[in-house]
Amino acid sequence: MEMGEWRTIKIGDVTAIGYISNIQSYSWHEECIEFTKVGWIIGDTIEWRKPTQGIYEANRLNPAAKLLNQYQDKTTLIDLALLTKDKQWFEELTKEAVIS
């Protein structure tokens, strides 16, 4: 896992989507990951929220690529890149629009 990687995590009955904001030192069992949650999957949609951080064990986090592809609304992803101040991701999302 690397900082900035998009992941999902199951918390109770819901799934949150976010990114790795820090990798903590090893605990007795495994790495502790600071995970910034930016959205919750409610039914068939992602409800974007103000980013909140939490610390979780690495094995609880799952890749988010498949989920992001499922919700491939570019305007929503661009808004999310702006919200999270992810300049590189914003540039990747808007590059195609500039070239076209």
Q: Where are the domains of the chain?
A: 6-99
Condensed to tens digits (0 to 9), the pLDDT of residues 40-91 reads: 888 777 788 888 999 998 889 998 877 766 666 667 777 777 888 888 878 8
Residue 9, pLDDT above cutoff 90: yes
pLDDT of residue 16: 92
pLDDT-derived band at 31 (thresholds 50, 70, 90) equals confident
Residue 5, pLDDT above cutoff 70: yes
State the Cα–Cα distance between residues 79 and 97, nearest whole angstrom: 15
| Residue 81 CA: distances (Å) to CA of 41, 43, 93 | 18, 23, 9
